[in-house]
Structure 1
Amino acid sequence: MWRSSKKFVILQFKSESMVYKVQAPSTIQVKIQLPSSKSISNRVLILNALSDSPYPIRNLSDSDDTMVLFNALQSSEKDFNVGAAGTSMRFLTAYLAQKPGEWTITGTERMKNRPIGILINALRALGADIEYLEKEGFPPLRIHGQQLQGGEISLDGSISSQYISALMMIAPHLRKGLVLHLEGSLISAPYIRMTMSLMEKFGVKSIWKGQTIRIEPQIYRPVAFLVEGDWSAASYWLQIQALAMERAAVDVIGLEDNSLQGDAKAESLMACLVNQHKSSFHYDFVNEPDLAQTFVVTCCLLNIPFRFSGLQSLRIKETDRMMALQTEMRKLGYELRILSDNVLMWVGERCEPVQKPVIATYEDHRMAMAFAPACLKMKEIRIENPEVVSKSYPNYWFDLKSAGFVIQEES
């Protein structure tokens, strides 16, 4: 049974161990307070700053990514380290480019290898003064902030919607506004619509026709804002429900019926997967790439072959998620195939599983959370570096324990 209610609370719990051994209960009956939406929180933080809002954001996400951005925007420092927070890197870069002052911004070694050249080229075309401190096209950056001219530019829309959102949010502060022509096949369109909707709540109008977004110079209006629960986090409880079947009754709290989040699609997708008893499952995740890991693990454990496309952005996430999935599912006895840069499939091919597998997380929170529920179909599973969940869902392990999962620390 799957139910959701609307209440808002923030819990705090973080794991600091190196490996967790996770074992499932025989039955699950639990009510879970979901974390706040990280995607909405990060956008509203920028909009709050751009509107000089006196209002605190209610139910702000306590994820690492959001706290990094929150602390940077509150700080009087000139040098920022965003760690592994990719959204913070992109949003903060655009925000600082239009704010008078000189700044540097860096991150983890992985962050220094995540490309940002498309965003920097776009900002430079709008008048920004940004230089690379190490490799061309990658952080760290030195930003000489100033009011930007704005104008008309083109941007590849097939890489990351966060580049688009970053530019859109600063557009009202540009002298000429912004006309943004999107080239190629657009990915993660719901996140762009989320940005537009949130900007509108802060008093700014945007026009999106075809492949062009137009935003005139405008003034943001401060508003009091309450952040809804996170649908990406809810997907892991949908996964638990699907794997446990009738042994589970999960009630989640904090979701909105008409959510701005693209990952709200998780509920109907999981229902389709489970209730229709599919012999195979094909889906294009171009608009919901963060759900891919959850559905890969779920399909394999339910013995449902799949073909998932639209996964090109997984290559530049916290890790190369396509390679990570292929490697870690092989430990569980499943041979996945990667076709080109955007298709991952499983045709039912099996291999010898590793005894007592330890799942590597690659500094990726979603690897940990997608694989932990696999213990519902196995005796147990081990998750390496489980603390990575703090990037988006700090209470994940705490919540699993409240649902009856046995979690033991191992070195």
Structure 2
Amino acid sequence: MSITINAPQRIKSIDVQLPTSKSISNRLLILNALSYSPYPIKNLSDSDDTEAMLSVFNSNSNHFDIGAAGTTMRFLTAYLAKIVGEWTLTGSERMKQRPIHVLVDALNQLGARIEYLENEGFPPLRIFGSSLTGGELELPGNISSQYISALLMVGPTMENGLKLRLTGNITSKPYIHLTLKLMEMYGVKCRWEGNVIEVPVANYKAVEAKVEADWSAASYWFEVVAFAQKGDSVCLKGLDRYSWQGDAAVAELFKKLGVQSKFSAKGLTLTNTGEVATSFKHDFTNEPDLAQTFAVACAFLNVPFNFTGLHTLKIKETDRISALVTELGKFGYVLETNNADNLVWKGERKEPATNIEVATYKDHRMAMAFAPAVLKTGNPIAIADHMVVTKSYPGFWQDLAAAGFIM
């Protein structure tokens, strides 16, 4: 199935109730379980990833298929390693291609017993849950922050706690910081000095928790407003001004692409200023999930760009670097990459294809990053497999329709 989008002559000034954060929701579900909390979490995300996590916690089985939910796979691998029993954990075909050996090796060093059921280093996994001894562990800092967060959350339950030494540059620091702040909310304070994080032996305390709106989802509305006419605006509801989410950086970054944002009692109002930079350079190490939004935004605003810090994009729902090169290429943008951690557009164009359908590669962010571009193309855009957005933002197409887009 695909969806064809036509642009409105002008976007409507609407209030958008954003989805809540799946990153926070999935961390809170693990912490709620570890604290044996009697309190239900308020405002849980309705994303596929969170639904997958909930289905595991509500299951009477010892076999779990979590589909394409990456955070769910990583967090549950660590959680189940300490829950007495024998568990199997599998997912979609793409999930079986996403490496997990760094996390499995780390857990096995800390006293776990986890085996691969098919290909070495990849799901599905057989997990023999038992108490973990813990202790000291060294990991490269440029691995997915989800591996690190998974280990940190179970750290207080280990017999000797956890001392994690991260080598080299640390990727997605804000996501690690988010995990530590949520652990602190549940009564466990860790120490992070330099490249060493120390997690004490401790009992989590049950607390009442509420999930805030998702700044990653907000990024697509910044993009919509950037493509709109000068003076056009929308208001985003549910965002926390002082959020721990790393993607809150989107507000500052989009100033360079002509979007001003201002908090009020009503929410966060985005307004098109018409003031766009002549080039854009950024290291996305701390906010890799924004890379697709900015690649599409810069290209269609005709702003040459140089992105670095993209090394984790190759092991996401798809190889996002390759996907961006291919799909922006359909519109005539000639991108360059070292195929490891960068993406560059120097302004070079070629003849665009006709009757373009954007492939989404089972990646929600591909669909949502490209949809707003119809404001700039002058032609309708087709988005393949459009319901892939349910992974993080199930109401995306309805919200676009409310802003005047015609599907």
The aligned runs of 1:200-349 (5 Å cut-off) are 200-246=184-230, 248-274=232-258, 277-349=276-348
Question: Do structure 1's residue 359 and structure 2's residue 343 form an aligned pair?
Answer: no
**1:21 correspondence with 2:4:** yes
Following TM superposition, the consecutive aligned residue runs of length 4 or more in structure 1 with deviations greater than 4 angstroms are none
Partners of 1:396 and 1:330 in 2: how far apart?
A: 25
For the 8 Å contact 2:310–2:342, the answer to whether it is kept is: yes
The one-letter amino acid of 1:297's match is V
* Conservation of the 8 A alpha-carbon contact between 1:368 and 1:386: yes
Does the 8 A contact of 2:219 with 2:290 survive in 1? Answer: yes
Specify the SS of the correspondent of 1:406. Answer: coil
CA contact (8 A) 1:281 1:306 kept: yes
Aligned length: 390
What is the identity, as a one-letter code, of the residue corresponding to 1:80?
A: F
Q: Match for residue 159 of structure 2?
A: 175
1:394 is matched with: 394
- Secondary structure of residue in 1 paired with 2:87: strand
Give deviations 1:270-303, integer Å, cap 9, x for gaps: 0123265311110000000000000000000000
Does 2:75 match 1:83?
A: no
* SS of the residue 1:337 aligns to: coil
Query: Which residue of 2 is the match for residue 5 of structure 1?
Result: none
The one-character-per-residue Cα deviations of 1:80-130 (angstroms, maximum 9, x if unpaired) are 001000110000000000000100000111100000000000000000000
Structure 2 equivalent of residue 405 of structure 1: 405
Structure 2 distance, partners of 1:374, 1:277, is: 16
Question: Which of 78, 85, 99 is the aligned partner of 1:115?
Answer: 99
Equivalent-residue separation in structure 1 for 2:276 and 2:29 (angstroms) = 42
Q: Is the 8 A contact 1:27 1:247 kept in 2?
A: no
Q: Hey, what does 1:135 align to over in structure 2?
A: 119
Q: d(CA) in 2 for partners of 1:27 and 1:37?
A: 29
**Retained in 2: the 8 A contact 1:21–1:381?**
yes
How far apart, in 1, do the equivalents of 2:140 and 2:28 lie? 25
Q: CA deviation at 1:337?
A: 0.4
CA displacement at 1:215 relative to structure 2: 0.6
Distance 1:360 1:390, change over 3 A: same
RMSD: 0.9
- Give the TM-score normalised by the residue count of structure 2: 0.95
Question: 2:368 — aligned with what?
Answer: 369
**Once the two structures are superposed, what CA deviation does each residue of 1:369-410 show, in whole Å capped at 9, x if it has no partner?**
000001000121110000100000000011111111101xxx
Alignment of 1:63 with 2:82, yes or no, is no
Q: Distance in 2 between matches of 1:248 and 1:367?
A: 24
Structure 1, gaps ≥5 residues long: 1-17
1:340 Cα deviation (Å)? 4.5
- In structure 2, C-alpha distance between the alignment counterparts of 1:154 and 1:212, rounded to whole Å: 9
* TM-score, scaled relative to structure 1: 0.94
Q: Is the 8 A contact 2:74 2:147 kept in 1?
A: yes
Query: Deviations 1:17-55 (Å, cap 9, x if unpaired)?
Result: x01000111122111000001110010000000000000
Distance between the aligned counterparts of 1:332 and 1:148, measured in 2?
A: 52
Distance 1:22 1:273 in 2: 23
- Partner SS, residue 265 of structure 1: helix
If asked which structure has higher relative contact order (CA below 8 Å, sep 6+), I would say 1
Matched, 1:385 2:368: no
1:26–1:247 CA contact under 8 A, matched in 2? no
* Mean Cα deviation higher: 268-277 or 368-377: 268-277
Give identity over the alignment, percent.
56
Q: CA deviation at 1:70?
A: 1.3
Unaligned runs of 5+ in 2: 259-272
Shift of 1:74: 2.0
Letter in 2 for 1:31: D
Distance 1:376 1:364 in 2: 22
CA distance in 2 between partners of 1:156 and 1:54 (Å): 37
Task: Give the C-alpha shift of residue 351 in structure 1.
Answer: 1.1
The answer to whether the 8 Å contact 2:322/2:339 transfers is no
One-letter amino acid matched to 2:284: F
> Structure 1 CA distance, aligned partners of 2:252 and 2:382?
29
Q: Which residue of 1 aligns with 2:32?
A: 48
Match of 1:14? none
